A and B are shown apart, each in its own frame.
Chain A
């Protein structure tokens, strides 16, 4: 427990920029680097950490319980993707938790205060802070370990608190702090202004027109729309997320949904969740404030991971109840989404599954015949909200070749992408390749055994990070969102020949209409 981590390029994240911290009023803004000897902690940093811990032990009973009840049975030890991929024993969840538990014992418990190491306690030093920074930003808060703990200890929650405490003395990372500041100021992580957001969408509409042959005219910030749609902003500029975004546009047009985009609540992601409970609340509030301003009935949410964990597990206590909204009912099928009674927010995959179940979509799954997809359960949607069947149901209806990975590594047991919880920074690629190894290994198996060539997912961070992970571990496998596959299969009214997919590539599954019986086929291919 005593060796100090060595910060080397590839194994640490850049420090949060002073300007970002100032924007949202986070403590101790300064320019620094984890490789510095002197981290320029506030003069009374020890007192701040001590008080911060004491306050949280009071406020969060789970934290106090998790500090007290671990019996070191080791059931969680080999369940963390960072341990499996890095081989570093301190990535065993039990030892990760021990980094802070030892301080709890040494500083808060009488036996530990007197007996020190003998009682498993230690004193708070600057090296402890460095070690926390190193290992609590090597946990993606994925909760896999908690599935195996007989006491239900959730190391993710310990990491959440540890990062919150680190934030009190200004030890945070730029990849989280800057998106938080941008999101707070302009509504999304990259700081896209409303007109830029809209222009990006228009660009994608042009692409849809070019490849699919239909012109879609969505609305922005329209008051009185029935539904507000919110999705992670990554999907409006990153590849392959933009193809998922095109999928949403096509789906909503196909069913004639009365909905609108917001250029202010232009981010579903919430990096506040990786900062502190307060920051999570501030950023989450925006979506609801915008829903109220626009006077919509309910919110439909796109393919995102942690946005859903925040909505599902925290929203109601943070900013709820959202009683100015109505309980979501699908305008197409009349289905009441009971599980969204409190949050008034429905997941796009659940919404789509319901449309398919009620025969509301005209689908030609053979358009995806060249794709053999598998599905990655994002930690947040699977363990965080139980969305397990819906994506598989959708995939089985829009593709003919869906293959699941091995049962011990899917659904609740899924392996993390290795880049969640704000760790998806470029400078951290090597660490992410370690963390993503177990997931990639399972993909490799289905690639080799079943020819899987596409890794589908319902999370924007997954879409952003899997291409790199696949390139390194299983280069033959591409990455897409489930909604992109839905769009491939959608038979749009008035569409042209679907010779190209949404990526502008030739579609290997395209079959030109046979000369005479063209119109006999379902789908009424476009006018000449």
Chain B
């Protein structure tokens, strides 16, 4: 089966690794947040991390909230349907900012390095290499889902632009019979 067609969630990671990651959750998620905000210039990164108000700092707020959710997904096994809204909220923003596609999505892969960085030694001592391989496969799957979301955001931008052109000249197009009419009401009336 092609990896992107995975209907079932990736298997939940094994107990030992899960316990280990759960123990370091705060540190892991914090590093993950850092790795995303650091893709912005330093002044912006500072703002994204420090300003707490969800309305005045919507991007920072989204990054913090959704990385937590995504981390839980990693622990449980990545489910396309469940992971999509979390990924979408982060990617929807990055898809329209000044990033290349790889820059927009690299954050999913950074988790691999973060795990090695923070819990690598313990993984070694407890010989959890095989479990780590499974975990990394699950992050790869998350990256594939992320790619689909990114593409759909980009396509949406194009669709919206075309639709806006029509809306902005709606009546002129309608009068020139260039629009498909909306179904009119009660034709048999009177």
Contact = CB atoms under 8 A, between A and B. Distances in A.
Same complex origin of A and B: yes
Contacts of B2: none
Contacts of A203: 171, 174-175
Interface string B153-189: 0001100110111011111101100000011111000
Contacts of A467: 163-164, 167
Contact of B47 (A78, A430, A464): A78
A472 B156 contact: yes
Contacts of B44: 83, 87-89
Interface of A: 11, 77-79, 83-89, 92, 190, 199-200, 203-204, 210-211, 234, 236-240, 242, 406, 408-409, 426, 429-430, 433-434, 437-438, 441-442, 445, 464, 467-468, 471-473, 499-500, 503-506
A8 B184 CA distance: 43
Contact of A437 (B41, B93, B164): B93
B16 interface: no
Interface residues of B, number: 39
A468 B51 CA distance: 28
Given A89-B41, A242-B170, A426-B161, A78 B56 contact: yes
B57 interface: yes
A471 to B, nearest CB: 5
Contact of A87 (B55, B59, B161): B59
A77 B40 CA distance: 16
A227 B64 CA distance: 55
B93 to A, nearest CB: 7
B172 to A, nearest CB: 5
B151 to A, nearest CB: 15
B59 A84 contact: yes
A499 B186 contact: yes
Contact of A238 (B40, B57, B168, B186): B168
Contacts of A506: 185
B165 A426 contact: yes
Nearest to B93: A437
B102 interface: no
B92 A239 contact: no
Contacts of A236: 171
Given A87-B97, A408-B53, A238 B160 contact: no
Given A429-B160, A471-B163, A472-B160, A87 B169 contact: no
Interface in B91-110: 92-93, 96-98
Contact of A200 (B156, B167, B171): B171
Given A203-B175, A500-B185, A429 B157 contact: yes
Contacts of A78: 47, 51, 56-57
